[in-house]
Amino acid sequence: MADRERLDGVLILGAGLAGLSAALTAGPRKVVVISPEPLMSGCSSAWAQGGVAVALSPDDDAERHAQDTIAAGAGLVDPDMARLLTCEGPEAVRRLAELGAPFDREPDGRFAQSLEAAHSRPRVARVKGDQAGRAIMQAVTDAVLAETRIQFRQARALALLQDASGRVRGALIEQDGREIALEADAVILATGGVGGLYAVTTNPAAVRGEGLALAALAGARIADPEFMQFHPTAIDVGADPAPLATEALRGEGARLIDGEGRPFMAAYHPQAELAPRDITARAIHRQILEGRGAYLDCRQAVGEHFPAQFPAVFAACRAAGIDPRLEPIPVAPAAHYHMGGVWTDDQGRTSLAGLYAVGECAATGVHGANRLASNSLLEAAVFGTRAGLAARGETAPTAPVLPAKASPDLPPEALMALRQAMSRDAGVVRDRAGLMRLLRLIETLAAAHGPALPLTAARIIARAALNRTESRGAHCRADFPDAAEPPRRTLTTLADLVMEPAE
């Protein structure tokens, strides 16, 4: 039987930028932050290279940023949520700078900003070229550690606690081998995305959709889970996870070439290297599939400046025996960012009372079918802050909390089989035969190992991908290559998704 503890405050599951932003604004309430990894470890926020997209220059504004966000999302972006994001973005970035995030500056003190794919203006605030995520997380982590009302516990969440009304009242966690039913006035999911469900990913391998699965098993509404963004230029050297060649390199003029040294992106899109990510990812996928290869040529655009301008990419290349100053970098698409997740409103509230979701595990509607480059850290900061402010006003009722059952672990060999199947059948290009094969594997693994959280998350993604009989944004169906009209979001629950799709 689990031990029981009571927190008169807010419980946050996850310690990335979204979760820690919520922790900082949930004051004066007490906060407990739960993460299976130490602070600054195992979260996607710290791995983010490109920076934060935000309209700060004199020739830019929030409306232009919103319009670019809406255009990239292929008809599924909620325009009101996009405008909320872009309007509150500048203040969010200034707050991060005040906490100590060392953004690159122009000589006159203004934020230096770079151009990335599908942006109409240079508006990505960076740190030393490709160090934004780690530098921002260091500043926010330092601020959290200075707050005595915020406690960090290295533990993992096993299930959400609920009362008879369905209200979320805390979480069942495992810490130091003990199961603890930790009750709280509000729970904020900030567990990250689903990249670890794929064999080829740029995400930490431990990020496997746990928050999505926990919320779905509790009955929460899920939005757009079929939309997984594949970063076009993961460094293709067989590493797990795959190191990333940031999009900022293409913003600086790096070109995508085939094995013969011929540029190929102009044949796929008029913006060539700066085409939206879904188009670029599919172009590279096709180049590789058809045997022509894909490489990122930075020799002229960056050249000798590589170690100083992009130190993380340079180090990853050198570790793989590649000198990007002298030779092109082999690249391939990799699972990078989940646009779908737990449905929320503009305060981070989910469909379940007492439960909030922020960051990549949430579906706010700002990304639609294809996230605009560098909007992810911005979303984490803006909506993490908003959720913390809202959650601090929660008071739990006195109704009894129901017992919760932990989901079983998935053995390593079963997890690898799942990851390989997800990359093969729910990857850059999908079809009915592959998705049905994937779902059969998931059912087989569930029968053998029980309802493990990664299996629940994978089932949700695969079912929604099977049900969406069109190609839109990052969701490409080889058997349904055209987009259907009018555009529609997926808004569902786990109970609805496990029913046979209407195909």
Mean pLDDT, rounded, for 47-75: 93
Would residue 277 show up in a list of annotated catalytic residues for this protein? yes
What Rg do the C-alpha atoms of the chain give, in angstroms? 22
Our count of domains for the chain comes to 1
pLDDT, tens only, 358-387: 999 999 999 999 999 899 999 999 999 999
Q: Any residues with CB less than 8 A from the CB of 258 and at least 6 apart, and which? A: 264, 287, 292, 293, 294, 295
The pLDDT score that the predictor gives to residue 502 is: 40
* CB 407, CB 217: distance < 8 Å: yes
As a whole number of angstroms, the distance between CA 287 and CA 289 comes to 6
Question: Rounded to an integer, what is the distance from CA 137 to the centroid of its chain?
Answer: 15
User: Is 98 a member of any domain?
Assistant: no
User: Is 51 a member of any domain?
Assistant: no
User: Is 257 a member of any domain?
Assistant: yes
What's the domain range around 295? Answer: 228-334
pLDDT, tens only, 343-360: 999 999 999 999 999 999
The pLDDT score that the predictor gives to residue 412 is: 96
User: Is 222 a member of any domain?
Assistant: no
User: Is 501 a member of any domain?
Assistant: no
User: Is 341 a member of any domain?
Assistant: no
Q: How confident is the model at residue 499 (pLDDT cuts 50, 70, 90)?
A: low
The pLDDT score that the predictor gives to residue 368 is: 96
Catalytic residue from among 134, 221, 277, 463:
277
Mean pLDDT, rounded, for 466-484: 97
Continuous segment of H or E residues that includes residue 233: strand 228-235
pLDDT, tens only, 311-347: 989 999 999 999 999 999 999 999 999 999 999 999 9
User: Is 134 a member of any domain?
Assistant: no
Using CA atoms, how far residue 358 sits from 5, 229, 306, 376, in Å, is 24, 18, 34, 11
Environment class of 503 (CB within 10 Å of its CB; exposed 0-12, middle 13-18, buried 19+): exposed
Identify the three-state secondary structure at position 216: helix
The pLDDT score that the predictor gives to residue 207 is: 94
Q: What is the mean pLDDT of the chain?
A: 95
Q: Does the pLDDT of residue 50 top 90, yes or no?
A: no
Least confident of 123-137, 261-275, 339-353, 471-485: 123-137
* CB 219, CB 491: distance < 8 Å: no
Residue type, 351: S
Measured at the alpha carbon of residue 52, what is the angle toward residues 46 and 55, in degrees to the nearest 5? 170
Residues in the chain: 503
* CB 263, CB 229: distance < 8 Å: no
- Residue 502 has a CB neighbour count (10 Å cut-off) of 6
* CB 193, CB 16: distance < 8 Å: no
pLDDT, tens only, 172-203: 999 999 999 999 999 999 999 999 999 999 99
Q: How confident is the model at residue 503 (pLDDT cuts 50, 70, 90)?
A: very low
Q: Does the pLDDT of residue 29 top 80, yes or no?
A: yes
| pTM, two decimal places | 0.94
Q: Residue 241, preceding bond cis, omega within 30 degrees? A: yes
User: How many Cα atoms sit within 13 Å of 317 on the Cβ side?
Assistant: 24
With left for phi above 0 and alpha for psi between -120 and 50, is residue 261 left, alpha or beta?
left
- The CATH number of whichever domain residue 264 belongs to comes to 3.90.700.10
The pLDDT score that the predictor gives to residue 465 is: 98
User: Is 203 a member of any domain?
Assistant: no
